[in-house]
């Protein structure tokens, strides 16, 4: 199958960050040509004159199955929020996990996200729903100490079994999850890290999300969370630390030395009023790879990476009193090439280059919010002006999962109707 996207503005995100006008040619799963006009035969031609083609975005921290829980726990103090979420989580069914995942995948693909990192239990159910949706899931089975879990059996062993079952799936990357130091002792943290190393799998964890988490760790160990993880040898270049809002410079340096990634979740942190602003300039200076996550639909209510990019940039500028912090190109890097590095797939994702997977998003370049549109302002328009409503067509690994705004892989109405029934069931429980 050879597909040509014709006469678009191409935001390559290649090492030179070139913006070109021309064609993108896809053969099977991969990009074969970028820029020059293609004059040969094609199985499909997508006319995109004046539109924008950009790499599929990578959401590096979600709890996708929570998409059916929008509005269940809004406007609560953080301890009350946690109590209600944990009570609902402990009683979820495979059906509502399946519907929640499909709903979240539809929202993400319609918003230009082609890869997401998930941290949850029952990732086997989530994996099957993600396969049906057709986008890429880096699915990290949640590990925590047995005395805290509602899972059947040992969470780390469940993670190992999940990895073994799904490691050869086309768009499923099974990974390792750590809930956080508040429920993960040394044995769990080291076991998760060692398994991640052994199978070269990404590891997603919550880190220093709240001041209370940090203070409790200091009381228990005399160290802050990242310091304690470093002291036991649990920091890793495969780790993606979500939130990371309450850190010292010493912790930032330790994370940089370990080659870690972070997933910034500014909307979630602000909605929960947990305080703290992640030290993005210091992360960059110390060699920490910065990416972006939305978190779940209970703490954000949206899985929109366009919104998250913009808000992350504005929060950094506002809190630093410095409009030059986190410029548009840097924010787009966070959502694309840096996200690809975070999940260990920088060689095949994150940019539009020959040989990489055809994870491509076509934006409507004729929409009023995207005009004027000239080479000099395309990056700024994507970051500060665009929304998920501008997404026309989405390819993930060569497969068209969205065409002209319509999901191609799932019965959207069926999923959405089921989501409302499930919402009521969860609230009643």
For the stretch 306-339, pLDDT in tens is 999 999 999 999 999 999 999 999 999 999 999 9
| Distant-in-sequence, close-in-space partners of 165: CB < 8 Å, separation ≥ 6 | 124, 174
170 pLDDT more than 80: yes
So what's the pLDDT on residue 73?
84
Please compute the mean of the pLDDT values over residues 33-61 and round it to a whole number: 97
Cα 396 from Cα 26, distance rounded (Å): 11
pLDDT in tens, 388-429: 999 999 999 999 999 999 999 999 999 999 999 999 888 776
Dist. CA 131–CA 170, nearest whole Å: 9
The CATH number of domain 57-342, selected from 1.10.3720.10, 3.40.50.720, 3.30.70.1400, 3.20.20.140: 3.20.20.140
Q: What's the pLDDT score for residue 74?
A: 84
Domain with CATH 2.30.40.10 in the chain: 2-55+350-407
Query: Residue 143's pLDDT band (boundaries 50, 70, 90)?
Result: very high
For the chain, give the mean pLDDT: 96
Please state the rounded mean pLDDT for residues 25-53: 97
User: Under CATH, what is the fold of the domain 2-55+350-407?
Assistant: Urease, subunit C; domain 1 (2.30.40)
pLDDT greater than 80 at residue 107: yes
DSSP secondary structure letter of residue 288: P
Q: 427 in helix, strand or coil? A: helix
CA separation for the pair 177, 180 (Å, rounded) = 9
Confidence of residue 84 (pLDDT cuts 50, 70, 90): confident
| pLDDT recorded at residue 429 | 67
User: In this predicted model, what pLDDT tens digit does every residue of 243-297 receive, in sequence order?
Assistant: 999 999 999 999 999 999 999 999 999 999 988 899 999 999 999 999 999 999 8
Global pTM exceeds 0.85: yes
The more confident residue out of 150 and 266 is 266
Q: Is residue 150 predicted with pLDDT exceeding 90?
A: no
Residue extent(s) of CATH 3.20.20.140 domains in the chain: 57-342
pLDDT for the residue 53: 98
What residues contact 151, with CB distance under 8 A and at least 6 apart? Answer: 121, 142, 158
Q: Is the peptide bond before 372 cis (omega within 30 degrees of 0)?
A: yes
pLDDT at 302 over 90: yes
- For residue 97, the model assigns a pLDDT of 96
Query: Measured over all CA atoms, what is the biggest interatomic distance in the chain, rounded to whole angstroms?
Result: 68
């Amino acid at each position: 199958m050879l597909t040509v996207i014709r006469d678009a503005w191409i935001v390559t995100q290649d090492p030179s960050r070139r913006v070109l006008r021309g064609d993108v040619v896809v053969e099977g799963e991969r990009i074969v040509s970028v820029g020059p006009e293609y004059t040969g035969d094609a199985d499909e031609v997508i006319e995109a004159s004046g539109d924008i083609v950009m790499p599929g975005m990578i959401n590096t921290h979600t709890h996708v199955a929570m998409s059916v829980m929008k509005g269940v726990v809004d406007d609560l103090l953080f301890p009350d929020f946690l109590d209600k979420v944990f009570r609902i989580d402990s009683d979820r069914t495979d059906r509502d996990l399946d519907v929640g995942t499909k709903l979240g995948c539809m929202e993400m693909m319609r918003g230009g996200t082609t890869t997401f990192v998930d941290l949850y239990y029952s990732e086997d159910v989530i994996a099957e729903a993600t396969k049906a949706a057709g986008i890429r899931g880096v699915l990290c089975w949640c590990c925590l100490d047995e005395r805290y879990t509602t899972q059947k059996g040992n969470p780390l062993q469940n993670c190992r079994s999940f990895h073994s079952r799904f490691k050869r799936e086309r768009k499923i990357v099974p990974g390792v999850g750590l809930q956080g130091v508040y429920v993960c002792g040394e044995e769990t943290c080291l076991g998760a890290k060692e398994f991640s190393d052994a199978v070269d799998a990404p590891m997603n964890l919550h880190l220093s999300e709240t001041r209370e988490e940090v203070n409790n760790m200091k009381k228990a160990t005399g160290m802050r969370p990242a310091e304690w993880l470093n002291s036991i040898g649990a920091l890793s270049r495969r780790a993606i630390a979500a939130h990371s809002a309450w850190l010292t410079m010493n912790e930032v340096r330790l994370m940089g030395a370990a080659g870690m990634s972070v997933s910034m979740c500014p909307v979630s942190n602000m909605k929960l009023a947990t305080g703290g602003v992640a030290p993005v300039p210091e992360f960059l200076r110390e060699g920490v790879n910065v990416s972006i996550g939305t978190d779940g639909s209970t703490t954000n209510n949206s899985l929109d990476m366009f919104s998250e990019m913009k808000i992350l940039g504005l929060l950094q500028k506002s809190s630093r009193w410095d409009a030059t912090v986190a410029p548009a190109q840097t924010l787009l890097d966070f959502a694309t090439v840096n996200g690809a590095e975070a999940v260990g797939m920088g060689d095949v994702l994150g940019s539009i280059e020959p040989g990489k997977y055809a994870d491509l998003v076509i934006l409507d370049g004729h929409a009023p919010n995207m005009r004027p549109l000239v080479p000099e302002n395309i990056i700024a328009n994507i970051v500060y002006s665009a929304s998920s409503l501008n997404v026309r067509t989405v390819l993930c690994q060569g497969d068209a999962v969205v065409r002209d705004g319509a999901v191609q892989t799932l019965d959207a109405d069926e999923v959405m109707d089921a989501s409302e029934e499930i919402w009521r069931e969860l609230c009643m429980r």
